């Protein structure tokens, strides 16, 4: 039998709770709602964090290689030759024609070995949505003649930096640019082999601008604030002046955060509209029922929760992403709350399409959870740079923050306190839970080859000495 087509739709900075059908009554997402109804939604799909303040870069490297955070090369700037990519495996073992569109944050060489064609490729992290510098597909991955100087803010600096691009898509919003490319590909596709279309958007990453009709969907004054809204984070761990965090002033105000939420939701509604247009082409061509459709994101975003604006933390809105999946053999209108990493997508698609999982892949297929409701992972390991480490079980999350100025332990009961508002770590009745999770955190750090974790040997020497006393 012919293998199913795969349409992979990837958003940038969209957190898990931004789809109407999954419980957010303030947002307008009719096409994503329909996709969730037609398929299965994973409500605990997450990333393990990031080793760069640009969390999307390691996240996308993990997604495309199926490797864990400390097993990718560097922070994911490049994918080495011996790390198989998803597109590479689908093409070589499954006979897929792999076509890439949009953002790719992991180097031209990795792109060249992942795809046989592509359009409007963006080799950077973020940009002005209305003027995106894009590249054409080059089979050899050589863009040495495409490096051009660019001054991002000529009012602040005259120093250029070098960007890869063949042209700038002037006046076309990035969401429309990538959606139109996907539509062209799907309308024109006439090959016998199945396709893998990787469509990677730049939205809803800031700068949050969008066509007016989508912003008009939202009245910022009427949007509810999250229960864990705070004027500032409880303690400083060295990111207060980071770019993401300076998007709103200090202290955060309800009015300003509501404006940010309105812009964020409007960008997602714009994405939703693009998804609807893409899926309509599949339906019109009679290909929808033969195509696995996945919609997800590279990481989440705080947007006012815990007094934070970005994703440089280990709280739920930053590490959890939406994940919708529909198509042949996929259960309809069902939900899975099992724990999985985004890096588990690679082996899962291999299993669903009947191709061998490359030896370099470290992820774990979620197909048993998808088809039989199996429990998935018991725990997840979490990290942000050298500053924070965490472990999340089905009930508790332990977060350990260590900087030169800060040493902080946090414990949350995710069942009783899903908004992570009540730190239990200092309560005597939870002392044993903290100790057990700390020991497990240390063991997972060794398993993940994480040499920079805050609970290193010096901490444990001090900790064990205290126990002896």
List, for residues 96-150, the tens digit of each pLDDT value.
999 999 999 999 999 999 999 999 999 999 999 999 999 999 999 999 999 999 8
| pLDDT at residue 468, rounded to an integer | 53
Evaluate if residue 466 carries a pLDDT over 80: no
Q: What phi and psi, each to the nearest 5 degrees, are found at residue 49? A: 110, -150
Give the DSSP letter of residue 344. Answer: G
- Interacting residues of 12 by C-beta distance below 8 A, sequence separation 6+: 56, 103, 126, 200, 201, 202, 203, 204, 205, 297, 298
Find out whether 98 and 7 touch, Cβ atoms under 8 Å.
no
What pLDDT is stored for residue 76 in this prediction? 95
Q: What is the pLDDT of residues 244-284, one digit of tens each?
A: 999 999 999 999 999 999 999 999 999 999 999 999 999 99
Distance (Å) of CA 125 to CA 112, 205, 441: 18, 9, 31
**pLDDT bracket for residue 464 (50, 70, 90):** low
Digit-coded pLDDT (tens) for 17-31:
999 999 999 999 999
pLDDT for res 463: 54
- Give the pairing of strands 334-336 and 40-42: parallel
Which pLDDT band, with edges at 50, 70 and 90, does 459 fall under? low
Residue 8 has what pLDDT? 98
pLDDT tens-digit profile of 45-100?
Answer: 999 999 999 999 999 999 999 999 999 999 999 999 999 999 999 999 999 999 99
Give the C-alpha separation, 429 to 89, whole Å: 50
pLDDT at 317 over 90: yes
Confidence at residue 161, expressed as pLDDT on a 0 to 100 scale: 85
Q: pLDDT value at position 452?
A: 77
- pTM here? 0.96
- Structure letter (DSSP) for residue 246: G
pLDDT at residue 166 greater than cutoff 70: yes
Contact indicator for 31, 37 with CB cutoff of 8 Å: no
Half-sphere exposure (Cβ direction) of 127: Cα atoms closer than 13 Å: 30
**How far apart are alpha carbons 434 and 438 in whole angstroms?**
6
CB 121 within 8 A of CB 106: no
pLDDT of 461 reads: 61
* pLDDT recorded at residue 156: 85
**pLDDT at position 456, please?**
64
> Does 44 score more than 60 pLDDT?
yes
Mind listing the domains of the chain with CATH numbers?
5-377 (3.40.720.10), 380-468 (3.30.1120.10)
DSSP state, 408?
Answer: E
- pLDDT over 60 (residue 465): no
Mean pLDDT in residue range 290-313: 98
Query: Which residue has 């202290």 as its token pair?
Result: 251
The pLDDT assigned to 157 comes to 86
């Amino acid at each position: 039998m012919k293998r199913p087509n795969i349409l992979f739709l990837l958003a940038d900075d969209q957190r898990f709770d931004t789809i109407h059908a999954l419980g957010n009554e303030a947002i307008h997402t009719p096409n994503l709602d329909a996709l969730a109804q037609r398929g299965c939604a994973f409500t605990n799909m997450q990333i393990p964090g990031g080793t760069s303040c640009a969390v999307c870069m390691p996240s996308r490297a993990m997604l495309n290689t199926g490797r864990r955070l400390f097993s990718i090369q560097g922070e994911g700037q490049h994918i080495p030759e011996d790390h198989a990519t998803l597109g590479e495996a689908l093409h070589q073992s499954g006979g897929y024609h792999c076509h890439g569109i949009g953002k790719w944050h992991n180097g031209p060489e990795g792109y060249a070995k992942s795809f046989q064609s592509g359009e409007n490729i963006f080799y950077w992290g973020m940009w002005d949505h209305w003027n995106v510098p894009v590249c054409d597909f080059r089979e050899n991955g050589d863009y040495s003649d495409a490096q051009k100087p660019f001054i991002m803010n000529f009012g602040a600096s005259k120093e250029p930096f070098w960007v890869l691009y063949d042209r700038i898509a002037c006046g076309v919003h990035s969401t429309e640019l990538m959606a139109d490319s996907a539509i062209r590909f799907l309308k024109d596709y006439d090959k016998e082999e199945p396709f893998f279309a990787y469509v990677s958007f730049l939205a809803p990453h800031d700068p949050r601008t969008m066509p007016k009709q989508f912003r008009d969907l939202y009245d910022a004054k009427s949007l509810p604030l999250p229960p864990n809204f705070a004027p500032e984070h409880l303690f400083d761990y060295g990111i207060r002046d980071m770019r993401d965090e300076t998007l709103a002033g200090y202290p955060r105000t309800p009015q300003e955060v509501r404006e940010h939420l309105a812009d964020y939701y409007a960008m997602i509604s714009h994405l939703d509209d693009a998804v609807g247009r893409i899926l309509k082409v599949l339906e019109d061509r009679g290909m929808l029922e033969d195509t696995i459709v996945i919609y997800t994101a590279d990481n989440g975003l705080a947007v006012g929760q815990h007094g934070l604006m970005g994703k440089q933390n280990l709280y739920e809105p930053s590490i959890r992403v939406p994940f919708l999946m529909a198509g042949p053999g996929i259960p309809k209108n069902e939900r899975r709350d099992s724990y999985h990493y985004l890096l588990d997508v690679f082996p899962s698609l291999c299993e669903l399409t009947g191709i061998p999982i490359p030896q370099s892949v470290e992820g774990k297929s979620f197909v048993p959870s998808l088809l039989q409701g199996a429990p998935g992972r018991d725990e997840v390991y979490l990290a942000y740079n050298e500053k924070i480490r965490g472990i999340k079980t089905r009930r508790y999350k332990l977060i350990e923050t260590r900087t030169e100025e800060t040493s902080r332990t946090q414990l949350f009961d995710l069942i009783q306190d899903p908004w992570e508002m009540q730190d239990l770590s200092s309560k005597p009745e939870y002392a044993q839970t903290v100790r057990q999770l700390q020991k497990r955190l240390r063991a997972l750090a060794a398993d993940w080859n994480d040499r920079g974790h805050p609970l290193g040997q010096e901490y444990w020497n001090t900790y064990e000495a205290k126990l002896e006393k």
